Structure 1
Amino acid sequence: MTADARLTRSRVVVIGGGVSGLIAARDLALAGVPVDLLEREPNLGGRIAQAEIAGLRIDVGAEAYATRGGTVEELLRELGLASEITTPAPLGSWVVAGDRAMPLPASGAGGVPSDPLSRASFAALGVTGALRAAVEPLLPASVGADSETLADLVRARLGSRVLDRLVRPVSLGVYSTAPERMPIDAIPGLGTAFARRGSLVRAARDLRDSRTAAGGAVSGLQGGMGELVHRLVEELERLGVRIRTEVDVCAIERDGGDWTVRDASGAEQARGGAIVLAVDERTAARLIDPAVEPASGEPERVEVIALVLDDGRLTRAPRGTGALVAEAEGTDLGSPRAHHHDDPIRAKALTHASAKWPVLARRAGQDRQVIRLSYGRTGRVPETEQLDDSAAMHLALSDASRILGVTLHAASVRGMARRIWQVSGPIVSGEGPHVQAPAGVVLAGDWVSGTGLASVIPGARDAARLALRAVSGSDAASTGPITTGGNS
């Protein structure tokens, strides 16, 4: 084998420049592996992105990370960002159901109340719903044990009010997936805790008190989560990773011991001994086997609308750090149309970002407020997607007024940004992932590892280990971290 062939065979091509791809590329480069990183879009970072609105840098994608497991904090320390970690204000979140708004009860996982007899639980569930949930620990562990989805389990053990008023808005707002499509283990730790405790309420308490809890504590970065992407890109450039954006990979081909990556014209874009596919499931399936029929329907999408307002009334944070919206039963929120005040709220969630993040409030000033609304529920396109900017802004203001209980006016708007994201959602039990990667191809992304940075980061590092094993021909990379750690 020639020296050039050995160099090619030791190289890894990472396809996809979201967080998964950036982290896998960094770990491989730190291990001494030559890396090419190819991204279809003009910008890197995937669903971590920022926009400048009225002079403020605002997250229009992921704005926080779950602290469970400590995996995100470990990476931030390695990148020299530990001093930038910040925590949200302890104001709590709300839930809006119909014409009622109420504080979201403290929970350990996915909206399951850890204290069904708390004042917040009574306000959200009513006396009947709260008492129904409170007796759940007395039920035999066999009740709901054969449930395949989160909705089935919650309905069987806690009742419909907990499902519809708490779990459903959390599932849709956080995971962009209805609980009827979520396996129990889509919420990390819940299935294990329920099996151990025989009670969802007790499982929620355990997860609330555990550092590994899902849906528990979150943190962010002082300049927004975009800082993570900026630092990762700086690291890759320093480590000599060859980064190219606006490369639309259309084919990967096995050529002897190498993999060749080609664009739509058939031109070779990269070659290596292994490939990390840090892309969505549809793209991965198409690249691995072009003969496979694409999945039916369009990928799920969410639109985020961020607004900067001059309205001092919001400084009192009327709904804490924001609110999740319970979908009105039996309503059709499909096609965009003229909206009226008595229509259902179209947004599925609102974050009062300047109330949630004190560092952002200081940058914004006393009266300037930042809010973000999310649109797009399971099985439907975002209600804002076909609206022009003016119509989208007025819908967002109408929804925000009803969610926050304060009438907001277009005259107070100082700027707006919109961003549509494709979301994977939790893998439904028995439905995926469907993609089987051949030898030398490694899969990465939230559809593989789970939603959120606390799942994506260890998944990306695992992918890097597997790719290292593929190009080194050794099992040494299969155990332990491959990075050098520290602020390399």
Structure 2
Amino acid sequence: MSVSRHIVVIGAGITGLTTAHHLTAAACRVTVLEASDRLGGLLHTRHLHGYTVDVGAEAMHVGSPAVSSLLAEVGLAESVATARRGTSWLWTSRGRRPLPAGVTPAGPTKLLPVLKSRVMSPLGLLRAGLEPVLPRPALPAHHDVSVGDFVAGRFGREVAERLVDPLLGSLHAGDIKQLGLRSCAPSLVPAAESGRSLLRRRRPTAASPASPAPSPAVKRGPALMSFISWAAGLATVPEAIAQGLDVRLNSAAASLVRQGEGWTVHCVDGTWVEADAVVLAVPLAVARRLLAEHVDDSIFAGHSTASVATLVAAFPRTTLAAHGLGETNGLLIPSRHGSTLKAATFLSNKWDHFADAEHALVRMSVGRAGSEDVVTRADEAVADRALADLATFTGLRTTPEWVHVERWPHAMPQLTVGHTARLAALREALPAGLVVAGASYDGLGITSCLVSAAQAATQLAGR
């Protein structure tokens, strides 16, 4: 009778738990070690003054089969809350403007909505419209370029600064002139390597794999909204995945020791676990420490992170409507404006489960690469700066009844130019039986983490 492989997964964030879920389905025996006292990593739901609010990731995007499949497998597909219709705004030198339709974190796919939005100047629009006819040098295979430089080269500087920076730059808390195209905007790589136009690209047909039919695993509203959550918060997801798994909280891994063809994971509390293989679903800085005896430290050169914070503020219920924000879901601020605030989400407008709440809840995101203010400043100072920026961009000067500040020190990996090559070198250097997975390696966002988890599980389950 064959004996199932025993795999240890270090880290009980969304990547680690999903990896364990897939490995268990493949008949492996899995132990998950988590250093903290909770599941979920950056999926963190808090109970604040009677409200259940996410202070890490705020929503899941349902456009990926990886998301739909996982939710169906763990029994969450029928209980999702879908984001309500609402306007997302961009801050410009002319004030607030609606985010144009067809604009993605990687740039515009349509020019007419951008024209109507008045986000860009006439010269900026003219330059963007020349993308199909201007020379488009092909990006050599295995070469990388920054997202900012690529987009500016194709569409002009204004598209990069006014559209891509507040979307992709805010998501990564980074500088788009430093973030790598291959790691942060992989959907653009085929066009970059072929030199084809992004505005003239052929629209996928109904039968094309690029536009799959909506998955029945996730209920959609009539408008096919993109973002979902749960009334009990995103912590619902890691809690559901963890059901039936052997997850050990407060079990920080201290070292990895080679044991024959397998590994022994020694924990800080003096316990240890033997395994056939180990998945490091942890930030790269943690992996670097655990791999110190097994991988040359120089392979980690070039890695950096950004510190961020999430703030939740409770205003009197009628405040948003009184300031013309009653239909507003979100606000994005380009980095060139120099504000502490980079984005705001009006939770009471966006989600049904906050619609009848006593307060109007506003979530604010602060922190960018190159500044540690959100870590070093006191909570009151961080809140005062964010609220002052919110007042500047929305006119909302009402004093909130309470503010919560949630800090995330060094939580956002900066996947800068050359990251994919550095990652390939790291994976090539890993001893047999060790695998890395998660946002530090395969990209930010829940979808990227789920794909990374599936790849790690496939790699180990097949051995």
**TM-score (normalizing by structure 1):** 0.81
Change (3 A) 1:274 1:51: same
2 CA distance for matches of 1:109 and 1:274?
39
Aligned to 2:240: 231
Partner of 2:380: 390
Partner of 2:290: 287
Q: Does 1:462 align with 2:455?
A: yes
Q: Report the Cα offset of residue 49 of structure 1.
A: 0.4
Following superposition, the deviation at residue 328 of structure 1 comes to 2.6
Q: Decide which of 153, 168, 178 is 1:171's aligned counterpart.
A: 168
The DSSP-based 3-state class of the residue aligned with 2:272 is strand
> Counterpart in 1 of 2:220?
none
Which residue of the partner structure matches residue 407 of structure 2? 419
Relative to structure 1, is the Cα distance of residues 117 and 143 closer, same or farther in structure 2, using a 3 angstrom cutoff?
farther
Residue pairs, 1:240-255, within 5 angstroms:
241=246, 243-255=247-259
Give matches, 1:322-337, under 5 Å. Answer: 322-328=330-336
Contact kept, 8 Å, 1:98 with 1:328, in 2: the verdict is no
Q: Contact between 2:366 and 2:386, CA under 8 Å: does it hold in 1? A: no
Give 1:150's aligned residue: 147
Greater CA deviation, 312-321 or 351-360? 312-321
What SS does the aligned partner of 2:132 have?
Answer: helix
Deviates more, 1:267-276 or 1:256-265: 256-265
User: Contact 1:54–1:308 (CA<8 Å) still a contact in 2?
Assistant: no
Q: CA RMSD in A?
A: 3.0
Do the aligned partners of 2:110 and 2:199 also contact (CA within 8 Å) in 1? yes
**Equivalent residue, structure 2, for 1:335:** none
The answer (yes or no) to whether the contact 1:59–1:225 under 8 Å persists in 2 is: yes
What are the equivalent positions in structure 2 for 1:140-219 lying under 5 Å apart?
Answer: 140-142=135-137, 148-185=145-182, 186-193=184-191, 198-202=196-200, 211=211, 217-219=226-228
2:14 to 19, 26, 29: 19
Q: Tell me if structure 2 keeps the 8 A contact 1:26–1:232.
A: yes
- For residues 368-387 of structure 1, the aligned pairs below 5 Å read 368-381=359-372, 383-387=373-377
Shift of 1:311: 4.2
Give 1:18 deviation, angstroms: 0.6
CA distance in 2 between partners of 1:22 and 1:429 (Å): 28
**Amino acid aligned to 1:219:** I
| 2:390 corresponds to 1:400 | yes
Q: Is the 8 A contact 2:99 2:117 kept in 1?
A: no
2:440 aligned residue: 447
2:215 aligned partner = none
- Measured after TM superposition, the shift of residue 326 of structure 1 is 1.0
Q: For the residues of structure 2 that align with 1:203 and 1:104, how far apart are their CA atoms?
A: 22
> Matched residue of 2:422: which SS?
coil
Q: 1:43 aligns with which of 31, 35, 38?
A: 38
1:361 aligns with 2:352: no
Q: Judge conservation of contact 1:254–1:260 (CA < 8 Å) in 2.
A: yes
- The equivalent of 1:261 in structure 2 is 265
Which one is further off, 154-163 or 414-423? 414-423
Task: Rate the CA distance shift 1:203–1:153 in 2: closer, same or farther, 3 A.
Answer: farther
Q: C-alpha separation between the residues in 1 aligned to 2:9 and 2:139?
A: 42
Q: 1:201 to 1:230 in 2, by over 3 A?
A: same
1:171-228: CA deviations, max 9, x gaps? 2211222211223232242222555681233459779x9548xxx9333334321110
Counterpart for residue 118 of structure 2: 123
Q: Contact (CA 8 Å) 2:138, 2:193: kept in 1 or not?
A: no
Matched residue count: 436
Counterpart secondary structure, 2:42: coil
**Contact conserved, 2:103 with 2:109, CA < 8 A, in 1?**
yes
Moved more, 458-467 or 139-148: 139-148
Once the two structures are TM-superposed, the CA of residue 255 in structure 1 deviates from its matched residue by 1.1
Are residue 221 (structure 1) and residue 225 (structure 2) matched?
no
Q: Distance in 2 between matches of 1:402 and 1:63?
A: 24
Q: Supply the distance in 1 between the matched residues of 2:437 and 2:133 (Cα, whole angstroms).
A: 41
- 1:65 CA displacement: 2.0
Superposed CA offset, 1:405-464 (max 9, x none) = 32231xx32452423151124353255225232111111112222221222112202211
Taking a change above 3 Å as real, the CA distance of residues 206 and 95 of structure 1, as seen in their structure-2 partners, is farther
Pairing 1:465-480 to 2, within 5 Å after superposition: 465-470=458-463
On the 8 A contact 1:121/1:130 being kept in 2, the answer is no
**Any idea what SS the aligned residue of 2:233 has?**
coil
Matched, 1:302 2:308: yes
Match for 2:252: what amino acid? D
Identify if the C-alpha distance between structure 1 residues 204 and 292 changes in structure 2 by more than 3 Å, giving closer, same or farther. farther
Report the secondary structure of 2:376's partner residue: coil
State the distance in 2 between where 1:167 and 1:50 align: 29
Match of 2:318 among 306, 312, 315: 312
Q: Which moves more between the two structures, 345-354 or 16-25?
A: 345-354
- Is the Cα contact below 8 Å between 1:26 and 1:235 reproduced in 2? no
Pairs within 5 Å for 1:53-68 = 53-68=48-63
Q: 1:120 to 1:385 in 2, by over 3 A?
A: farther
- Secondary structure of 1:384's partner? helix
* Cα separation, 2, equivalents of 1:414 and 1:302: 20
Query: CA offset at residue 380 of structure 1?
Result: 2.0
Query: How big is the shift at 1:295?
Result: 4.7
CA distance in 2, matches of 1:405, 1:206: 42
1:296 Cα offset (Å): 7.2
Q: Is the 8 A contact 2:168 2:176 kept in 1?
A: yes
1:292 maps to amino acid: D
**Contact 1:350/1:371 (8 A) holds in 2:** yes
Q: CA deviation at 1:153?
A: 1.5
Whether the aligned pair in 2 keeps the contact of 1:249 and 1:262 (CA below 8 Å) is: yes
Q: 1:92 to 1:195 in 2, by over 3 A?
A: farther
Gaps of 5+ in 1: 330-343, 471-488
- 1-side partners of 2:88 and 2:438: how far apart? 28
* Secondary structure in 2 matching 1:385: helix
- Check 1:326–1:183 CA distance in 2 against 1; reply closer, same or farther (3 A cut): same
Indicate if the aligned counterparts of 2:305 and 2:369 stay in contact, CA closer than 8 A: no
